[in-house]
Amino acid sequence: MTTSTLGRPARSELTFRQKVSRFDYTFSPFLYVAPFFVLFALIGVFPIAYTLNVSLYDWHLLEGQGEFVGLANYVSILSDPFFWNAFGNTVSIFLLSAIPQLVIATGIAALLDQAIRGKTFWRMSILLPYIVAPVAVTVIFLQIFNQYHGPIAGLLELFGLEPIRWAFDVLPSHIAIATMVNWRWTGYNALLLLAAMQAVPRDVYESAALDGANKIRRFWSITIPMIRPTLIFVVITATIGGLQIFTEPRLFDGRTYGGSDRQFQTIVLYLYELAFPRRDFGQASATAWILFLIIVLVGLISYAITRAIRTADVKPARISAASIGAQQGES
Amino acid sequence: MTATVTSPKTPKPSKSPSFEDRRVVDAERRAKRKRAYERPGVLTYALLIAFFVGSAFPLWWSFVIGSRQSSDTNLVPPAVLPGPNFLSNAMKALETVPFLQGLLNSILISGAITVSVVFFSTLAGYAFAKLRFRGRTGLLLAVIATMAIPTQLGIIPLFMLMAEWQWIGTLQAVIVPGMVTAFGVFFMRQYLVDVIPDELIEAARMDGASMWGTFRHVALPAARPAMAVLSLFTFMAAWTDYLWPSLALSPRNPSVQTALAALSASGGQNPDNAMVLAGAVLSVIPLLILFFVAGKQLVAGIMQGAVKG
């Protein structure tokens, strides 16, 4: 298709139709992107920005805007031990979910990155938990992680062990909640990592195999470095998601806001308790902005780390590519 | 890809590869390649089956208990076969909370959000991918930057807005805040930028097509596969959402998720576990059907997204 040789009509002699066409050509793109920006400004940007405004006032759910208090809400949140409790719980649950999840997802992806029988079945099967909503996941796992009955309690009893107080003790409750997150997301992340593994050129493995590297060596020296961008992406999304965990701890004990002694109250749950049962919109908004800043900070740090790694990678990557090329040239 | 692999000559058997003889090396390579793609061993399948059982067990077990009675959660070893009571447990769940209303509402909410997100994303994604306009790069960067914004942190002003409009308890209170996503725009842009040749759009314009005509007759047909994937993910995200619907909807007019949460809380200290789990199974069935119909596309969508992102 070589239409580029056709010239456009000269500006001076435009007919009405050409003028309409020119107008159409210039302004249509703006019309196409406008609905997104207008709607997003209303439902995405405005709420976040207005949260900042609310956070600077005494602001009650029913009574509305009160006195301007400056940063007082921030000061009282940051000096509230319950905030730091929620912060610690969030980090703990995040670590208990992110680390096993990443390890298992990488392992499953490596298993699937072979000439496997029934690969569509396996790929679909690991994604099954992803379609179960967090509410249903929590409702189901509440029965599994139950102090008195359910499969785990039965198993413990069988071995004559003490029942575990899943909903009352700090670490068991964190493990139970992290398990719910892991159950839902491990297969999803395994597929992301599998896609990255399949993008690794097979020649690299062949050359390594020719040089006598065994499977495990190939995995550590080729697969892991080559999928590092995806690994980092998974870590970043897991972090941003993990900082905002709400549904699982909210419903793990529906009568409380994260446990009778706030054993598993996360930051968003802390925000929720301030905003709705306590009706303190000012302090809740300050919490939202503190969390927002934490997320931005985490994003920037991960970006910096990614960049640093990429820069450090440039040399080895070139050398290995060159050596592969050289080997192919040699043969 | 080495084209030389296809050389048909039979190589002389040799254990140490000599780099002087091209054919020997090729044969070595072929052997190695075969070994690299060899069928994995029993251990691989054993591990995959173990992972599959772990993935499926909680769902299966909730169906098992949901079709029995609450006291069966105590059985050691745990019950693994379903009983006869699923329908009666499910009926009890429907009587306890307005579950069917929730199902209908969730279909309406998720459907409306999906149509809106996919339409606006395709429109904007096409403009970013294929049309030239002032400020395109800057606006696209704005889209990418907003993708990372945790919009759920804006729930307080959103709640105030919905209360001001007297929308609390209505479906539009959930639909409107979900009508566009930055991810959708970026996703469609990434797809369309490769898929539609610039020449095609130029040709349509030369033939006198209007911009809208070009969008409808060139871009939309080309965008269809990506629109299908975006629909799937948008629908699922809307279906599984809980935090905002729990604030914006009332117990009498719930979504599936808020109805299930209410069901779980209904028994107080002595919940009817079989009924609650039957309700959990009911809430999962629609997406389970979607999964069996379109699971392949879901897998492909996740894996393609990974390569691009």
Q: How far is B272 from chain A (nearest CA, A)?
A: 11
Cα separation, B174 vs B241, whole angstroms: 10
With beta carbons less than 8 A apart as the criterion, state whether B169 and B245 touch: no
Report, as ranges of residue numbers, the positions in chain A whose pLDDT lies below 50: 1-6, 314-331
Minimal Cβ distance to B51: which of A126, A233, A240: A126
Q: Which residues of A165-196 are buried (b: 16+ CB within 10 A; e: fewer)?
A: ebbebbebbbbbbbbbbbbbbbbbbbbbbbbb
Mutate to test the interface with B, among A132, A156, A266 (most CBs of B within 10 A): A132
Query: Chain B partners of A36 at a C-beta cutoff of 8 Å?
Result: 120-121, 123-124, 143, 180, 182, 185
Neighbouring-strand partners of residue A280 = A60
Q: Give the residue on A whose Cα is nearest the Cα of B72.
A: A150
Q: What is the pLDDT of residue B23?
A: 55
User: Considering the domain A76-330 in this protein, what is its CATH number?
Assistant: 1.10.3720.10
Main-chain dihedrals φ then ψ at residue A280, nearest 5 degrees:
-100, 85
Q: Give the residue on A whose Cα is nearest the Cα of B242.
A: A247
Strands (E), chain A: 57-60, 64-68
Q: Reduced to 3 states, what is the DSSP secondary structure of residue A104?
A: helix
Q: Give the residue on A whose Cα is nearest the Cα of B197.
A: A1
Q: What is the pLDDT of residues B160-185, one digit of tens each?
A: 999 999 999 999 999 999 999 999 99
Length of chain B: 309
Tell me which residue has tokens 């639909």. B175
Tell me which residue has tokens 């030239």. B132
Which domains does chain B show, CATH number per domain?
A: 3-36 (no CATH), 42-84 (no CATH), 93-308 (1.10.3720.10)
Q: How far is A157 from chain B (nearest CA, A)?
A: 9
With beta carbons less than 8 A apart as the criterion, state whether B67 and B87 touch: no
- Whether residue B299 and residue A292 make contact (CB cut-off 8 A), yes or no, is no
Q: How far is B10 from chain A (nearest CA, A)?
A: 17
Query: Chain B partners of A135 at a C-beta cutoff of 8 Å?
Result: 240, 242, 257, 260-261, 264, 283
With beta carbons less than 8 A apart as the criterion, state whether A238 and A98 touch: yes
Cα separation, B121 vs B77, whole angstroms: 51
Cα separation, A151 vs A173, whole angstroms: 17
Cα separation, B219 vs B194, whole angstroms: 12
Report, as ranges of residue numbers, the positions in chain B whose pLDDT lies below 50: 1-20, 34-35, 306-309
Instruction: From residue A106, give the alpha-carbon distance in Å to each of A181, A203, B42.
Output: 16, 21, 19
CA-nearest of B229, B36, B280 to B122 is B229
Q: What is the pLDDT of residue B11?
A: 44
Query: Chain B partners of A292 at a C-beta cutoff of 8 Å?
Result: 150, 153
Minimal Cβ distance to A195: which of B51, B143, B307: B307
Query: Chain B partners of A290 at a C-beta cutoff of 8 Å?
Result: none
ipTM above 0.90, yes or no: no
Query: Chain B partners of A134 at a C-beta cutoff of 8 Å?
Result: 240, 242
Q: What is the pLDDT of residue B277?
A: 94
Q: What is the pLDDT of residue B37?
A: 54
Q: What is the pLDDT of residue B15?
A: 44
Cα separation, B186 vs B180, whole angstroms: 11
Tell me which residue has tokens 């379109």. B294
Mutate to test the interface with B, among A15, A22, A32 (most CBs of B within 10 A): A32
Q: For chain A, give the percent of residues with pLDDT over 70.
A: 90
CA-nearest of A249, A126, A239 to A192 is A126
Query: Chain A partners of B210 at a C-beta cutoff of 8 Å?
Result: 21, 24
CA-nearest of A326, A115, A328 to B5 is A328
As a three-state string, the secondary structure of chain B is CCHHHHCCCCCCCCCCCCCCCHHHHHHHHHHHHHHHCCCCCHHHHHHHHHHHHHHHHHHHHHHHHHCCCHHHHHCCCCCCCCCCCHHHHHHHHHHHCCHHHHHHHHHHHHHHHHHHHHHHHHHHHHHHHHCCCCCHHHHHHHHHHHHCCCHHHHHHHHHHHHHHCCCCCCCHHHHHHHCCCHHHHHHHHHHHHHHCCHHHHHHHHHCCCCHHHHHHHHHHHHHHHHHHHHHHHHHHHHHHCCHHHHHHCCCCCCCHHHHHHHHHHCCCCCCCHHHHHHHHHHHHHHHHHHHHHHHHHHHHHHHHHHHHC
Domain ranges of chain A: 16-68, 76-330
Minimal Cβ distance to A129: which of B55, B132, B247: B55
Query: Chain A partners of B160 at a C-beta cutoff of 8 Å?
Result: 54, 281
Q: What is the pLDDT of residue A137?
A: 96
